[in-house]
Amino acid sequence: MRYADIVLPVPLPKLFTYEVPNEYHGTLAAGQRVVVSFGKKKLLSGIIFSLHNNKPEAYETKPIISILDDKPIVTLSQLKVWEWMADYYQCTLGEVYKAALPSGLKLESETRIFYNDEFEAETEMPEKTQQILDFLAAKKYSTISEINQFSGLKSCHHIIKQLIELDAVVVNEQLKGSWRPKTEVFLSLHNNVRNENSLRDAFDSLSRAPKQLEVLMLFLQSTGGVSEAMTGKEVLKKELASKAVNSSTAINELIKKEMLVQVKRNVDRLLTSKIENVQKVKTLSPEQDSALQETLKGFDENLPVLLHGVTSSGKTEIYIHLIDQAIKKGQQALYLLPEIALTTQITNRLKAHFGEKLGIYHSKFSDDQRVEVYNNLLNNKSYRVILGVRSSVFLPFSNLGLIIIDEEHENSFKQFDPAPRYHARDVALVLGQGFKSSVLLGTATPSIESYYNVQNNKYRLVELTTRFEGMMMPEIIVVNTREAQRKKMMQSHFSPQLLEHISEALSNKQQVILFQNRRGFAPFMECMSCGWIPKCKHCDVSLTYHKHIHQLICHYCGYSSNVHATCQACESPTLNLKGFGTQKIEEEIGQIFPDASIARMDYDTTRSRKGYENIISGFEQGEYNILVGTQMVTKGLDFDRVSLVGILNADQMLNHPDFRAFEKSFQMMAQVSGRAGRKHKRGTVIIQTSDPEHPVIAKVRSNNYAAFYQEQIEEREQFNYPPFYRIIHLTIKHKNQNVTNQAANYLAGLLRSVFGSRILGPQVPPVNRIQDHHLQRIMIKYERKASPSQVKKLIRDCINQTLANERWKYVQIVNDVDPL
DNA sequence: AGCACGCCGACT
DNA sequence: GTCGGCGTGCTC
């Protein structure tokens, strides 16, 4: 095989053919990583997709520069999933590759500019050039982006080019960013002193070096005693060093005197905490046990099972039993959770059961740690279970027997940007087919699509209707805010009933959760005189005010701006903070209950690595009385002292212009209500709304999922929405608004000639400009029974025909399959 | 997506 | 006259 087709991390819809150097003939396989040169100078790592002997006719091939692995790091079954994804989600293999591997396994070159020491200037050069040269001379070498940053230039290309011509600098491409094993230094007793006599002599010889003596004693203590130390037991150097002040010189002296020896060893980054005693799997309640048996029956029929269990019904225990069984059969298990539900609570619980068999794959982990999880699984080391977020469907499983998708209804399983815009639940089902794994979808509030699959006998349904350990479903009180407003009884966002219940809970030393879904209601500034609102320079959105840094930030492109004292339009000093976010609620509730301690959980307070866990554990331990939060508070948290949950504004969710708004509202309200109540004490939920008779609220109140589903499914059928129809969104982007509009109209016309009334739009999406690109959107709704691949091919043809047109060949068209 | 090339307007 | 911004094309 003399040629290799290689997947490269570029969004181009093809593979690239490189020549295999002679010495590698017959030694390569699909899935191995190679380094190749791409374009004029770039070095990239890519994945061998296939090997063949077809010499390309149209171009000269470049050779593969080097081979990074002796054996494939992407398995054949992974490559199959990649291919399926690229096809189903209409993206390129390169985009899948980018998403699939942790960046530590993807190498890319970086241009380094080296200063030439022998250089002597013959003529004077411009000031800027001289500055950059001085900068390089001081640093020896630097990168383009560093120089740009230093010089404040948008591009330093011209200057560098000049310097190259003058021989003042040389450039060089350097591969960077590769993962390296972590090493730590261990100490053990030197062979010379591993008997009592010589050890005694050693002690004697240290009589005038008290510090070294102290350290040696500490070392012996750390090994667990002299006899242990004699066997060569090792102690972490940094741990020993931390036991005495200024001990590092003493340690190094002892090494020099050949009393201690040090060795560097590769250590696992993930085995930081010691594994506690592995817990036995708990016995299940009768309800749980029969649910487990039902689930197994479904698995026997080779059907995915939808486990519909009310909140706090103990689904996790069932999962643990299933995982345990899979491991006993020698299989692997994958437990998928949405990002925000992957808390220490659940991690600790699983760790207690599965110990070092458990691997965790999470975006808050460093990239090095993710590489280690990847390698652990690839080399079949310790992991048998992976608890992870959406991207863990990309891990190199070899014998996946069980997949659990918990909180199956969660939208965050769908990746929105960048491509691949995949839904982890749907990819997991495909993954499961490949391995013939058992698949379990768990939730208290199934998505309409999944429940429909139950009705159609594509999934088996298992229900858990009772809460764990005698917990009762909460009492739900609906408060009419319109009426309260009319009677002028609303105190800002709080109804008298809600305030009454809060103060009652507080005086009973119980905790309160206040839920505010702030979607579209983030705090922003507005001029009270002229109505001017600070907007993003590059996007069609108002800037969001962030109190902690006192800045305005664009949530779409990250643009930030200082807060000005005066209005930029009319110059009057009347800029006011507007909006109804969690921060506002936090402040106001603090004024009403000055003695309560309040925590806030939202995008801002949980961005840092520890922020999220601090808030949760603080609330758990009763440091806070009230927790104010966005949808984050609804996910998989079990608190023991929460007696009251307040939903501040249900209307906001219900009035969203989206066909899934009711579904999302029901799920959100049901989930957040599930946080109320403790063992043997019924919790209370207060829902504030201006429309207490709203059918969705009625179903939440009666906890009647089936009725809710019935209503929704009829609506979906009537208006041709999923699950009866499939949806594809095409977003057309261009810097010039006219070009965007024309291209969108042309494309929509083409599509209509093929699909007729299945085409909607083009329409301007709610946010019509992002990063200086104007947007238009076309929606394609087509019957579920139509062949998706056929439909997608026809759509591709229309897109290609549009892009072939000279006038809009620079238009970007983004494909979102099954959008949410 | 990145990156280089080259065209063209802005300032010395 | 040069500098540097941005539009255009190419990547095995």
Amino acid symbol at A742:
Q
A812 Cβ nearer than 7 Å to chain B strand: yes
CA at A744, C1' at C8: how many angstroms apart?
A: 22
pLDDT tens, position by position, A28-71: 999 999 999 999 889 999 999 999 999 999 999 999 999 999 99
Give A690's DSSP letter: S
Q: Which nucleotides of B are covered by protein (CB under 7 A)?
A: 1-5
Q: What is the pLDDT of residue A636?
A: 57
A40 Cβ nearer than 7 Å to chain B strand: yes
Query: What Rg, from alpha-carbon coordinates, does chain A have?
Result: 31
CA at A811, C1' at B6: how many angstroms apart?
A: 22
For nucleotide C10, the protein residue with its alpha carbon nearest to C1' is: A39
Token reading at A573: 């000093």
A408 Rama sector, left if φ>0, alpha if ψ -120 to 50, beta otherwise: alpha
**A539 marked ligand binding residue:** yes
Token reading at A402: 């069980």
What class, spelled out in words, does domain A109-176 have in CATH? mainly alpha
CB-CB neighbours of A20 under 10 Å: 23
| Strand (E) or helix (H) holding A700 | helix A695-701
**A129: CB partners within 8 A, 6+ apart:** A159, A162, A163
Q: What is the pLDDT of residue A520?
A: 42
Determine whether domain A725-817 maps to CATH 3.30.70.600: yes
Q: 3-state SS string over A165-201? A: HCCCEEEEEEEECCCCCEEEEEEEECHHHCCHHHHHH
Q: Cβ(A428)–Cβ(A336) under 8 Å?
A: yes
Task: Flag residues 131-190 of A with CB < 7 Å from strand B.
Answer: 157
Q: Which nucleotides of C are covered by protein (CB under 7 A)?
A: 3-12
The pair phi, psi for residue A486, each rounded to 5°, is -60, -40
Coil, helix or strand at residue A689: strand
For nucleotide C9, the protein residue with its alpha carbon nearest to C1' is: A810
With CA of A110 and C1' of each nucleotide, the nearest comes out as: B2
* Euclidean distance between CA atoms A661 and A528, whole angstroms: 32
Protein side of the strand C interface (CB < 7 A): A 10, 12, 14, 16-18, 36-39, 56, 59-62, 126, 128, 153-155, 158-159, 735, 809-810
Determine whether domain A3-108 maps to CATH 3.40.1440.60: yes
A41 Cβ nearer than 7 Å to chain B strand: yes
Which CATH number is A286-462 given?
A: 3.40.50.300
Ranges of each domain in chain A: 3-108, 109-176, 286-462, 475-519+582-714, 522-579, 725-817
Domains A109-176 and A475-519+582-714 share a fold: no
* Euclidean distance between CA atoms A372 and A366, whole angstroms: 10
A657 Cβ nearer than 7 Å to chain B strand: no
CA at A113, C1' at C12: how many angstroms apart?
A: 27
A552 Rama sector, left if φ>0, alpha if ψ -120 to 50, beta otherwise: beta
pLDDT tens, position by position, A575-619: 887 765 777 788 888 999 999 899 888 766 776 667 777 888 888
**A719 half-sphere exposure, CB direction, 13 A CA radius:** 11
Closest CA to A7 of A86, A123, A117, A118: A86
* Euclidean distance between CA atoms A429 and A423, whole angstroms: 10
With CA of A418 and C1' of each nucleotide, the nearest comes out as: B1
CA A223 to chain centre: 41
Place of tokens 């009705």: A455
The answer, as to whether pTM is greater than 0.95, is no
Determine whether domain A475-519+582-714 maps to CATH 3.40.640.10: no
CA distances for A109 relative to A41, A72, A112, A159, A389, angstroms: 9, 22, 9, 21, 29
Coil, helix or strand at residue A113: strand
Q: State the 10-residue block means of pLDDT for chain A, 820 residues long.
A: 96 95 94 94 94 94 94 97 97 97 90 82 73 80 78 74 79 78 89 87 87 88 86 89 85 90 86 61 88 96 95 89 96 93 82 92 88 95 95 97 96 94 98 97 96 96 84 89 90 92 93 77 77 84 80 80 84 76 82 90 70 82 89 73 90 88 94 79 91 94 93 96 96 92 95 96 88 93 95 95 90 95
CA at A323, C1' at B8: how many angstroms apart?
A: 66
CA at A648, C1' at B2: how many angstroms apart?
A: 47
Give A472's DSSP letter: P
**A91 marked ligand binding residue:** no
CA at A42, C1' at B11: how many angstroms apart?
A: 35
CA at A135, C1' at B10: how many angstroms apart?
A: 28
Token reading at A407: 């909180």
**A156 marked ligand binding residue:** no
Q: 3-state SS string over A277-325? A: CCCCCCCCCHHHHHHHHHHHHHHHCCCCEEEEECCCCCHHHHHHHHHHH
pLDDT tens, position by position, A504-514: 999 999 999 99
Closest CA to A166 of A126, A222, A206: A126
Q: What is the pLDDT of residue A435?
A: 97
* Euclidean distance between CA atoms A461 and A457, whole angstroms: 9
With CA of A14 and C1' of each nucleotide, the nearest comes out as: C12
